[in-house]
Amino acid sequence: MHSKRPLPYSAIALALLAGLGMLAAGASPWLALAIVVLWLGSLSLVTPEAEIPAERIDPAIVSRGAIHETLEPVGLPLLLLEGTRIVEANQAARKALGNHISGQDARIALRHPDAMGLIDSADGTSVAIPGFTGARSLWQLTRRNIGPDRWLIELTDRTAESDVGRAHTDFVANASHELRTPLASIIGYAETLGDGDVDADTSKRFNGIIQREALRMLSLVEDLMTLSHVEAEKHDRPNEPLDLGQLAARVIAEVKSLKGKERVSLAVAEPGLQVLGDATQLEQLLRNLIDNALKYGGPDTPVSVAVTRGATDRAVLAVADLGPGIAPEHLPHLTRRFYRTDPGRSRASGGTGLGLAIVKHIVERHRGDLHISSTLGEGTQVSASIPLAQG
C-alpha cells in the first residue's frame, strides 16, 4: 500500500497568487482561471512513478482532458503551447485561425514574424499585428507563461476598435475639409473687399458670396451637431406614441407654405398608424428626405409622400421623386457621411452630405429599416419602415 503523497501547498499557493496577480493586472477572469487550472493540472505530472498503480490512467491524458475542458468554453481565443508546438487551441482560436492549427508548430501556424517573436519573448509580451487574419484585421497577441515549458498565447481581436478609430479620423478629416472650403472663400472675398479697390457692383456680388458661404458653414455645423445628438441617443428607444400620418400631414403643410416647395404632396396617409417615436427627429427625417427629393429630383416634377401599413406590423414612410435617378453603384454608400454622387451639384444646391446619414441614425434609433431604390431616368424612392406601437 502506498503512502499518501503530501499536497504541494507551496505550488498551489503560487498558482493562486499568479491568478490573483493577473486579475489585478486587468486580465479577464476566464483567462486567470485557465492559468490557475493549467498550473494545478501540471502538478499531476510530477507524481513519482513508484506511486502510480499500473492500472491507473496516464496522468498526462487526465491533465490534457482537464486542459481541454478548461480552455474550450473560454470566449477569448487561446493557444496552449509546449515549447513551440500548439498542443491545444480552444473553439474561439480554431474559429479565428482554422481547425488545422492544433498540433502544429507555432512557427508554421502563426506565420507572421511578430507572432513568432513571442516564442522567445518574456512573460506578458504583447504585439499588435495588422492583417493577421485578413487584409483589414488587427489582432493583439500576448504571451502568458504557465510552467517551465508551457505557455499561452492570448489573442484579442482589435479590428472593430481599429475600424472605429479609422472612421473617426476620416470623419474629422472630411468635416475639416468641408468647413475649410467655405471659410477660405469667405476670407478671400473679405480680404479683397478690405483692400477697398472694388466697385459697387463687385462689392455687392462679393458680399453675396460671403453670405452664401457663411450660411453653408452654418448649415454644416448644424447638421454636425444634429448627427452627434442623434448618435448619442441611438440606444434610447423613443416611447412617445404618435400618429405617423398626422405627423407627415403637418410637416408637408409647413413645407408647402414655403416658396418653391409647392410641388410636395401627401399622396396617401393611412389613418391610425401609431409608432413609438421622437416627434422632433421624425419631422427632421421627413424634412431631410423632402429636401433631397426637391434638390436632386427634376426641377418641376412633383415630390410625393406616402404613409402606409407595411408587412409585419410596420408603418412605412416613403418619399419619391421623378428625377434623373441614381446609378446602382452609388446606392450602398448614400448613407455614409459626406458621400455625394455629384459633389459639385450637391454643394451648389446647399447640400452638406450629412442628410441621409442623419436619416439613417434616426431610423436606427426607432428600430426601423431604411431602404433606397432608384431607376435611372425615372426617379428615386426612400422609405423608412418603423415598427407599429403595440396596442
Q: Do residues 223 and 329 both lie within one domain?
A: no
The 10s digit of each residue's pLDDT in 2-60 is 444 455 555 565 556 556 556 655 666 666 666 666 655 555 544 444 444 434 444 44
How far out from the chain centre does Cα 215 lie? Answer: 32
Q: Which whole-number Å values give the CA distances from 329 to 243, 282, 378, in the listed order? A: 35, 28, 17
Q: Do residues 144 and 202 both lie within one domain?
A: no
Could you list the residue range(s) of the whole structural domain that residue 97 is in?
Answer: 9-157
- When the pLDDT of each residue in the chain is averaged and rounded to a whole number, the result is 80
Please, which pLDDT band fits residue 368 given cuts at 50, 70 and 90? very high
pLDDT at residue 166, rounded to an integer: 65
Instruction: State which of 232, 264, 284 marks the end of a domain.
Output: 232
The 10s digit of each residue's pLDDT in 329-338 is 999 988 888 8
Q: Does 353 score more than 90 pLDDT?
A: no
* Residue range 300-317: mean pLDDT, rounded: 91
Please check whether residue 4 lies inside any domain of the structure: no
pTM of the model: 0.57
The 10s digit of each residue's pLDDT in 80-128 is 888 888 888 888 888 888 888 888 888 888 878 888 888 888 888 888 8
C-alpha span between 158 and 137 (Å, rounded): 8
The 10s digit of each residue's pLDDT in 127-137 is 888 888 777 78
The 10s digit of each residue's pLDDT in 276-293 is 999 999 999 999 999 889
Angle between helices 279-296 and 355-365 (to 10 degrees): 150
- Asked if residue 203 lies in contact with residue 193, where contact means CB atoms within 8 angstroms, the answer is yes
Please check whether residue 47 lies inside any domain of the structure: yes
CATH of the domain at 273: 3.30.565.10
C-alpha span between 279 and 247 (Å, rounded): 8
Kindly give the pairing relationship between strand 303-310 and strand 264-269. Answer: parallel
- Asked if residue 151 lies in contact with residue 82, where contact means CB atoms within 8 angstroms, the answer is no
- Asked if residue 337 lies in contact with residue 354, where contact means CB atoms within 8 angstroms, the answer is yes
pLDDT at residue 372, rounded to an integer: 94
pLDDT at residue 347, rounded to an integer: 59
Please check whether residue 223 lies inside any domain of the structure: yes
